[in-house]
Amino acid sequence: MSVTTERTTTIQCGDLPTRAINEAVRAAVASGSKVIHLMNPAARHNLGVALPEGVRLVIEGSAGYYAAGLNDGATVEVRGSAGWGAAESMRDGTVVIDGDAGNAVAASIRAGTVVVRGGASTRAGIAMKGGALVVAGDVGPMAGFMMQKGVIVVCGDAAGGVADSMYAGTVYVGGKASDLGADAVEAEFTADDHALVSGLLDRWRVPAPASFRKLVSGRKLWNFQRADLAVWKAAL
Amino acid sequence: MSTPSEPTTNAADPSPMQRSGTFTPGVIEDIQIKAELARYRIRGFGILRPRTWATFDDLTFVPGTLTRIPLEGYREKCATKTVLGTRFAKRPLELDIPLMVTGMSYGALSKNAKTALARGSKMAGTSTTTGDGGMLEVERAESAKLVCEVLPSRYGIDVRHLRRADALELTIGQGAKPGTGGLLLGSKVSDEIARIRDLPSGVDQRSPCRHPDFLGPDDMVIKIEELREATNWEIPIFVKMGASRVFDDVRLAAKAGADVVVVDGMEGGTGASPELLQEHTGIPTLAAVCEARAALEDVGLYGKVQLVIAGGLRHGSDCAKALALGADACYLGTALLIALNCNKPLYEDDYAAIGAAPYACHHCHTGRCPVGIATQDPALSARLEIDAAAERVANFFHALTSEVQVLARACGKSDVHHLEPEDLRALTFESSMITGLPLAGTNRVFGGGPGW
């Protein structure tokens, strides 16, 4: 995406508090700015919260909690790492994190795409309700926990409890995933799956691993059944 | 199910037919049901066992006589206006009365019930609250003021809904079952509810108990800031908690930046929960309001952070006593459902079909609510006629407000918010100890009250 043909605003975060930075971002959006750079963000929390469609915000460094939280359609790029809950509850849009992501990246997003070029910590994609999360590196424990819809693509290894207690949705793991979560089952990686995953990886220029495993809900936790007492012992 | 106490044993001469005081018929039935069920029992409504703990009923008002002068009902005004969220919000929530509709989800309740609550609350000049299922369009349209909950499950979360709300409520837990998440059994997860919540139809939906993206109060400071940024610091942020370690929890919520703290006592209702949590967790609403007020005073925020009390409030005297003890407003839930028709002797065969009866129905979890409130069944829902139901909600709010006013005027108060602890006396040792009010007839406080 070229920035030369669009109106660009550069905001020096300096000693400004979060509220003043976000007010400056909102003012830039209101005045028609389409591309906004935040310089020296110093890992402040709540940068670029709830920005609308048509805006591209580039955070030129690391961000704290809830970077691009409650995103309303904007494209937000973090040129560093992000703290907890990046892009949480996103309505739509795109969030790209060049570094690593803290706990609960893409928590409960309903649409849009989140790309993490490094690794992601615990519970990546928890309770996702749609959209896609792509992690180029490894993910911590319980990625995809209680996922409801959408797609998680993990190119590296997945730590213990991956895809735990999912209602629905799909987790693809390119690396090791030896300890699956409760009621996670492996499904056949079909041509459609291949097209979906490689489409995402190509689009975001994430190197693809040699193969993927596909994890889905075993649906044993959808409704209580006495036949599955061992499963429920851990889940109830 | 509650386990009513049985006649006591004559230990000296037990009858051959003597029943156990420990393994009562209710306990025996409970054990044998679980021996089939293989899990904890689930039901709705809230705590059922007899009220053996101190409640608002253990307090009495001491109206004006010679030491204080009462006000005339006919001529002298008693204001009821209530403003919540004066701390940080640009647009505090202004209500005509100190009584509000608490959060109950579309899913737990039918669309007709949600619509009637919204319309009725508007007629009464107060607010309604969304619930664990997102904002319903008709609810937004019908409500004059709408509090939008942000819950651990984040079902239906939508930043555009947050921006259309008149306040946000960050829900940590609820009084019926602090420390656990929501529950909606498959019979109520209709295609429409499933679509709104992004779930497969018909699943037994178990909501998380923790928010996905924060844990304790330190993280919550940042979460509250995020919600304020998303809504441009326009509207108040409530933090709602089930009554547990109220004194510490309220201090933490207030320090974390809440505009309004909501404390929901043990007597609060639920659409469906493990029964033992309803019966055996949380602390009573009377104790909760006392601890909450003491907590806000302790951190110097009493009067700056508003306090909303919930949990089994039934009538004007419950609400007036809560206001006198320190609440700025009261949330009503179950009482409003009862105003809608819950437990009314109509369609008695349908109560019997789900193993219930009028006045003894706590079968919200089945989705077969005979009066069309706690159901997603179109035929049952249609039994709740919205216009008439909304009018009952409005009437009930007016009745409760008039009850609070009549008590306030009797105590010489020209504003219901002027009610104060000095207007009350305790009728029992326990309530004196909990509230710090003198025991009537003694002018002494037995115990330190909320003296943390």
pLDDT in tens, B187-236: 999 999 999 999 999 999 999 999 999 999 999 999 999 999 999 999 99
For residue B58, is it left (φ>0), alpha (ψ between -120 and 50) or beta?
alpha
Question: What is the percent of chain B with per-residue pLDDT over 70, rounded to a whole number?
Answer: 96
Please check whether residue A142 lies inside any domain of the structure: yes
In the three-class reduction of DSSP (H, G, I as helix; E, B as strand; rest coil), residue A30 is classed as helix
Please check whether residue A22 lies inside any domain of the structure: no
Angle B386-410/B316-325 helices, nearest 10 degrees? 50
In the three-class reduction of DSSP (H, G, I as helix; E, B as strand; rest coil), residue B348 is classed as helix
Question: Does A8 contact B at CB distance below 8 Å?
Answer: no
Please check whether residue A173 lies inside any domain of the structure: yes
Mean pLDDT of the region A124-148:
98
Helix locations, B38-180, DSSP H:
111-123, 137-142, 159-163
Q: Taking a contact as any Cβ pair under 8 Å apart, which residues of chain A between 183 and 222 contact chain B?
A: 222
Angle B246-255/B285-298 helices, nearest 10 degrees? 40
Contact B226 A84 (CB under 8 A): no
Closest-CA residue to B55 (of B241, B279, B242, B287) = B287
Please check whether residue A27 lies inside any domain of the structure: no
Give tens-digit pLDDT for B23-82: 999 999 999 999 999 999 999 999 999 999 999 999 999 999 999 999 998 889 999 999
Q: Taking a contact as any Cβ pair under 8 Å apart, which residues of chain A between 82 and 111 contact chain B?
A: 84-85, 88-89, 91, 103-104, 107-108, 110
Integer angstrom CA distances of residue B44 from B274, B277, B295, B342: 9, 11, 31, 12
Q: Which of A28-37, B371-380, B441-450 has the lowest mean pLDDT?
A: B441-450
For A91, which of B40, B159, B225 is closest by C-beta distance?
Answer: B159
Question: Does A234 contact B at CB distance below 8 Å?
Answer: no
Kindly give, in sequence order, each residue whose CB lies less than 8 Å from that of residue B69, ignoring residues fewer than 6 positions away.
B412
Please check whether residue A200 lies inside any domain of the structure: yes
Instruction: Quote the distance between the C-alpha of residue B99 and its chain's center.
Output: 11
| DSSP conformation class of A207 | P
Report the pLDDT value the prediction gives residue A4, as an integer from 0 to 100: 38
How big is chain A by its Cα radius of gyration, in Å?
Answer: 18
With 90 as the cut, is the pLDDT of residue A233 above it? no
Residue B44 burial (CB count, 10 A):
25
Report the pLDDT value the prediction gives residue B9, as an integer from 0 to 100: 55
B363: number of CA atoms within 13 Å, CB side? Answer: 21
| Mutation site, A18, A44, A46, interface B, largest B CB count within 10 A | A46
Instruction: Report the chain B residue with the minimal C-alpha distance to residue A103.
Output: B213
- How far is Cα A213 from Cα A197, in angstroms, rounded to an integer? 11
Question: What is the percent of chain A with per-residue pLDDT over 70, rounded to a whole number?
Answer: 97
Give tens-digit pLDDT for A20-64: 999 999 999 999 999 999 999 999 999 999 999 999 999 999 999
Please check whether residue A28 lies inside any domain of the structure: no
Instruction: Report the chain B residue with the minimal C-alpha distance to residue A22.
Output: B229
Q: Check residues B449 and B158 and name the one with the higher pLDDT.
A: B158
Report the pLDDT value the prediction gives residue B1, as an integer from 0 to 100: 46
- How far is Cα B297 from Cα B310, in angstroms, rounded to an integer? 20
- How far is Cα B28 from Cα B87, in angstroms, rounded to an integer? 53
- How far is Cα A122 from Cα A142, in angstroms, rounded to an integer? 6
Handedness of CA B349, B46, B22, B31 (dihedral sign): positive
Contact B158 A146 (CB under 8 A): no
Q: Kindly give the pairing relationship between strand B183-184 and strand B205-206.
A: antiparallel
Closest-CA residue to B333 (of B132, B144, B96) = B132
Complete domains list, chain B, with CATH = 83-180+210-399 (3.20.20.70)
One-letter amino acid at B15 equals S
Average pLDDT, chain B: 95
Contact B38 A229 (CB under 8 A): yes
Contact B154 A89 (CB under 8 A): yes
Q: Which helix (H) or strand (E) holds A22?
A: helix A18-30
Q: Which domain holds residue A228?
A: 37-235
Kindly give, in sequence order, each residue whose CB lies less than 8 Å from that of residue A184, ignoring residues fewer than 6 positions away.
A162, A163, A164, A166, A171, A215, A216, A217, A218
Q: Which residues of A touch B205 (CB under 8 A)?
A: 167
- How far is Cα B54 from Cα B71, in angstroms, rounded to an integer? 30
Please check whether residue A21 lies inside any domain of the structure: no
B327: number of CA atoms within 13 Å, CB side? Answer: 28
Q: Taking a contact as any Cβ pair under 8 Å apart, which residues of chain A between 157 and 186 contact chain B?
A: 167-168
Percent composition of chain A: helix, strand, coil (DSSP 3-state, to 5): 15, 30, 55
CA distance, residue A158 to nearest chain B CA (Å): 19
Q: Count up the domains in chain A and report the number.
A: 1
Kindly give, in sequence order, each residue whose CB lies less than 8 Å from that of residue B45, ignoring residues fewer than 6 positions away.
B269, B270, B278, B334, B361, B362, B363, B364
Confidence category of residue A3, pLDDT binned at 50, 70, 90: very low
Mean pLDDT of the region B258-283:
97
- How far is Cα B172 from Cα B165, in angstroms, rounded to an integer? 19
Kindly give, in sequence order, each residue whose CB lies less than 8 Å from that of residue B128, ignoring residues fewer than 6 positions away.
B100, B101, B117, B118, B121, B139, B143, B145, B146, B147
Residue pointed to by tokens 């309004």: B260
Q: Which residues of A touch B200 (CB under 8 A)?
A: 167-168, 222
With 50 as the cut, is the pLDDT of residue B352 above it? yes
Instruction: Quote the distance between the C-alpha of residue B230 and its chain's center.
Output: 27
Which two three-digit tokens encode residue A9? 């605003």
Closest-CA residue to A56 (of A41, A43, A39, A73) = A73
Closest-CA residue to B99 (of B406, B393, B413, B423) = B393
Please check whether residue A1 lies inside any domain of the structure: no
Angle A18-30/B217-230 helices, nearest 10 degrees? 20
Q: Which residues of B touch A84 (CB under 8 A)?
A: 213-214, 219
Percent composition of chain B: helix, strand, coil (DSSP 3-state, to 5): 35, 15, 50
Give tens-digit pLDDT for B112-147: 999 999 999 999 999 999 999 999 999 999 999 999
One-letter amino acid at A109 equals I
pTM passes above 0.90: yes
Report the pLDDT value the prediction gives residue A228, as an integer from 0 to 100: 75
Q: Which residues of B touch A229 (CB under 8 A)?
A: 38
With 70 as the cut, is the pLDDT of residue B12 above it? no
With 70 as the cut, is the pLDDT of residue B2 above it? no
| Mutation site, B207, B226, B232, B277, interface A, largest A CB count within 10 A | B226
Question: Does A44 contact B at CB distance below 8 Å?
Answer: no
ipTM score: 0.95
Question: Does B198 contact A at CB distance below 8 Å?
Answer: yes
- How far is Cα B300 from Cα B31, in angstroms, rounded to an integer? 49
| DSSP conformation class of A194 | H
Question: Does A130 contact B at CB distance below 8 Å?
Answer: yes
